Structure 1
Amino acid sequence: MNDYYKNQIENINHQITEAEKLLADPSMKQLAKEEINQLRKQISELEKTPGTRNPEPGTNHTVSVILEIRSAAGGDEAGLFAAELLRMYQKFADINNWSFEELDRTEGGLGNIKTVVVKIKGKNAFDKLRFESGVHRVQRVPKTESSGRIHTSTATVAILPEIPPTQISLNPSDITFESFRSGGHGGQNVNKVSTAVRIKHIPTGVVVKSQTERSQAQNREIAMEILRSKIYQLEEEQRQSTIHDERSTQVGAGDRSEKIRTYNFPQSRLTDHRINKSWHDLENILEGNLDKVIKALNDFASPTNIAA
C-alpha cells in the first residue's frame, strides 16, 4: 500500500481514537459509536479497493486516466497546438484500443482549444502516459506569419489517475456548487436549462467544470470525478515535495510547470529534454505513433525503479 493510503488510514484511525474518548460520556456515547462504525467502514473500503497500491511499470493493469491539456503562452497559436496535442493523444489511444471520452472543453476560436479534459481507459493507459505531464513547447512558423519568423508557444499536459469516491474523502462542506448555461456565463442556478456545473474545493481553491452532458446530474458527477483526481494529485505533489525523489533528476517529477518536450516543425524534430533524446519524424509522431518515445522514457526510468 502506498504512502497516500497509509496516511488516509492513519488519519481515520486517529479520528477513531478521538471518538472513543467520547464513549465515557453518556450524552455522547451513541453518537460516538455511530461515528466509530462509519470510520471503520471507511478503512475497510480503503483496504479492499483496487488501486491502493502504486501501479508498477510493465504490469498489464487497466487504469482510467484523466488527461488535461491547456493552452499556455502564445495566444491563438498555443490554442492550435493544444488541439494538435489532443489529436495526437486521441490517435495514440486508438492505436492502443483505449476508450477516449471527452469530459469538458473550452474553445478560444475555430480549432483553438483553451482547455480540454478527457478520460482514457484501457490496458496500460496509466503506465504509458505517466510521463506526459509537463510543459510541451512548439516551434514553427504560424500560418498567419507573413515574414516567416519562427514562433514559440506552449501548452501544458496533466496526467491524473481516476480516483473512485472510496479512495479519497471530500467533505461536502468544503465544496461549492454552481450551475450555468452550457457555453454561456456562469450563474447561481440560473434556470432549469442550466445544465453545466462548476465545482470549487474551498481548501485548495481547485475549480472544475463540466458541460458536455445534457443532464445537470451527469455533469455534476463528471465534475466530481475530475475534482477527486486533481485533489489526489495535489496530495501526491505535497507528499513528494517533502521527500527526496530521484525522478526529479531522472525523467522529471511530472510537474505541469516542468518543460519536458519541444516540437520543432522546421527541423521535423521532437526532443524530450528529460532524457536529452530527439526523433526526426515529428509528423509521424503527431499521428499518434508515440510508442518509441514512451518506451525510451520508461527504459530510462526503469533502472532506478522510478514510480510515476
Structure 2
Amino acid sequence: MKTKIIQITSGRGPVECCWVVAQVLKYFIEDIKVARIKYTLLHREVGAENGTLQSATIQLKGNGLEPFLKDWLGTIQWIGKSSFRKFNKRKNWFIGIHEIEETEKMLLKENEIKFQAIRSSGAGGQHVNKVSSAIRAIHTKTGIQVLVMDSRSQHQNKKIALKRLQEKVDTYNNEQLKILVQHQWGNHLNLERGNPTRVFTGSDFKKQKINKSYKSKRQESRNNLRQEKWD
C-alpha cells in the first residue's frame, strides 16, 4: 500500500483563490471516497474570509494512487465572478495541486533499541520490589523511551514496551511530517497559470470539460494575459 502527501494551494493568491481551494478540497475528498482510498487531512491553512482556505494537505494511502492523481495534479481553474469584490472584472482564478516529497520515516529497528531491567516501585508487595521486572526501552537513534511496569513478568513488560515505543516513534514521524508540510511554501510560489488539469465554473462550481486543441490553448493564453491587467 503506497502513501502520498498532496497539497492544495491558493499560490498565495487573493481571497477568491482561497475560496476555490475550499471548494476543490470538497470535490477531491469525494473522489477519494469513490476510489476507496484512505485519507487523512493533515493540515489546513485558513483563509482571511469564512469558508476559504489558503492551503490544505492530505495524506493518501492505497493502491492505484498514480492513475487517480493523474487527473488532479497540476493547475485547477475556476471561471466565475468574485463574490468578495463586486467590481472586480477578473473571471479566471487558478490554484495548484502538488505532491509533497516525504522525508524518510524513522523505523524501529531491533539493533537500535536498548532495554534496561529495573526494579518496579509502588504497590505489588515484596515480590515486585525484589525482582527487576520493570522494563525501560530506549530508541537510541531518537532518544525516545518508555518505562513499563504493568506486569510482574519481565517478558510481558518487554512486549508492552516495544508496542508503546512503536507508538511513540509513529507520533514522532507524524510530527516531522507536519513540520514538513508547514514549511512547504515553495508550492505557493510556483503556481502555473493556464493549461489546467481541471476547470470548474460558476458559483455552483460545476466541472467543465477541457478542450485540449491548440487553438483553444492559444486563446486561453491570450485571455489569461488580458486578465493579468485586471489583477
The normalised TM-score by structure 2 is: 0.49
Larger Rg: 2
Considering Cα pairs closer than 8 Å and 6+ residues apart, tell me whether 1 or 2 has the greater RCO: 2
The normalised TM-score by structure 1 is: 0.38
